A and B are shown apart, each in its own frame.
Chain A
């Protein structure tokens, strides 16, 4: 199979990290992939130092959006709000280890866009 469905992406898809609803959270935000109607709910909880203490996600989606949420939630733990807002598309593609076709951009960036909306709205 090609670079999009490489082993680490499929591994995150089949066994996602940080998946599940959070009981006590500071922020809950639902992002929607307008190209297919899939959604992603992010839960954020701040640590006493004002960093991201815990994060989880829920939702139904394709391997690209789900593995992206798994990898991104791993990456942002312990980050400040500013550090998270500074993350860009290229950081997501670095996690995937590949870029995607224009048709799948919204899938690949769903978790990041949802995070940014959760932090600013």
Chain B
């Protein structure tokens, strides 16, 4: 049994009395263990990684590569060469899509994605579709999930690439990515998975998902901002041309040309966010110490409680996956008495931190028939008291606007 009271002490931002942080889906709080690991790097062995021979540089390199091992194990990658450090999910997505496009590994044909995608996944695909004159098709929603029958129809032997979000950052829905990956594989398409909203909330296993590439951000998994991961299956990665060039990613450079470094350095141009990577390693230790499956048990109880409580307020409509087994702890809602920006502003006066807007998922909001939502999202450090504070503040807000 996890002692939440004890866990909350790990998060300095929760020291403020009466403070309710319900914005994990935008960025999770960072525990002291991660802050300490980052601080230790900056205080004691601040150096660039690889090549240099002094003690601190060796120490930094060890920690950096140790983090790669932790990530590989955490998502069940087959080799360390498959793990590329980036600045976050968006850079991962951009690098991946560019490299796929420029490496001639995709067959002719269309791209299939979903209406549920985050802009970080979607916009690079849109740009690629425009440049390469490929049709971009969307698997629609059914309720708060994906229409798998439509996926069967949309993904055909004319499909080169399928990109699907593992869990929605708006509705919390965990998609059956394996099912879509199987359809894609049958048709010879490459499968990309955006796992940003899922990692740290549900166990993520790249081979069980049947993915060819998967990415996520550190800052939503209790690591610092500015670090992320791109995983690409070795058989595909070795065929990809890098799309970002410079130092670190080369083995030799002449006036006329350059040769690339081995994997994974080939895809890590320039000095990466070393402190961030070390922090990510510490964050994975922290998450694994608690057990991701245990985190979900706690979060889904809160999700269930929040959905029930919010639906008990007349005028509030919850737009979230109601089967909490398949929800990563995200509850978005609209109120017929006020706009999400007003709700969030009034709630912030009661120290309830939620997020209004389209959450970088405008096509999803269009599919749900709304411009914007207010989103409450949970992690291991949240409690029923947080939900109660949300509900109380919302009832107060209703009195202001009605």
Contact = CB atoms under 8 A, between A and B. Distances in A.
Nearest to B358: A37
A63 B362 contact: no
Contact of B342 (A37, A60, A63): A63
B400 interface: yes
B400 A37 contact: no
Given A36-B357, A104-B341, 10 more contacts: A1-B346, A1-B349, A5-B400, A36-B340, A36-B358, A36-B372, A38-B339, A60-B371, A62-B339, A63-B342
Interface in A56-94: 60-64
Nearest to B402: A14
A2 B349 CA distance: 8
B356 interface: yes
A37 B341 contact: no
A107 interface: yes
Contacts of B401: 10, 13-14, 63
Q: Considering residues B339, B349, B372, which has the most beta carbons from chain A within 10 angstroms of its beta carbon?
A: B339
A107 B342 CA distance: 10
Interface in B320-351: 338-342, 345-346, 349
Given A36-B358, A37-B362, A63-B339, A104 B371 contact: no
Nearest to B349: A2
By secondary structure, the B interface counts as helix
Contacts of A118: none
A5 B346 CA distance: 9
Contact of B371 (A1, A10, A13, A38): A38
A119 interface: no
Nearest to A1: B400
B361 to A, nearest CB: 11
Contacts of A13: 401
A22 interface: no
B334 to A, nearest CB: 12
A4 interface: yes
Interface of B: 338-342, 345-346, 349, 356-358, 362, 371-372, 400-401
A36 B346 contact: no
A14 B339 CA distance: 12
Instruction: Please tell me the size bucket of the interface on A.
Output: 10 to 19
Ranked 10 nearest A-B pairs via Cβ:
A62-B339, A62-B341, A63-B342, A62-B342, A36-B357, A1-B400, A37-B371, A5-B400, A36-B372, A37-B358
Q: Considering residues A5, A64, A107, which has the most beta carbons from chain B within 10 angstroms of its beta carbon?
A: A5
A63 B338 contact: yes
B349 A104 contact: no
B356 A10 contact: no
B346 A37 contact: no
Interface string A2-31: 101100001001100000000000000000
A104 B339 contact: no
26 contacts: A5-B342, A5-B346, A10-B401, A13-B401, A14-B401, A35-B357, A36-B340, A36-B341, A36-B356, A36-B371, A36-B372, A37-B357, A37-B358, A37-B362, A38-B339, A38-B371, A38-B372, A60-B339, A61-B339, A62-B339, A62-B340, A62-B341, A63-B338, A64-B342, A104-B341, A107-B341
Contacts of B342: 5, 62-64
B61 to A, nearest CB: 41
Nearest to B399: A1
Contacts of B345: 4, 104
A5 B349 CA distance: 11
Contacts of B349: 1-2
Nearest to A66: B339
Contacts of A60: 339, 371
Q: Considering residues A1, A13, A63, which has the most beta carbons from chain B within 10 angstroms of its beta carbon?
A: A63
Contacts of A10: 400-401
Contacts of A35: 357
Nearest to B371: A37
Contacts of A1: 346, 349, 400
A105 to B, nearest CB: 12
A70 B192 CA distance: 48
Contacts of A38: 339, 371-372
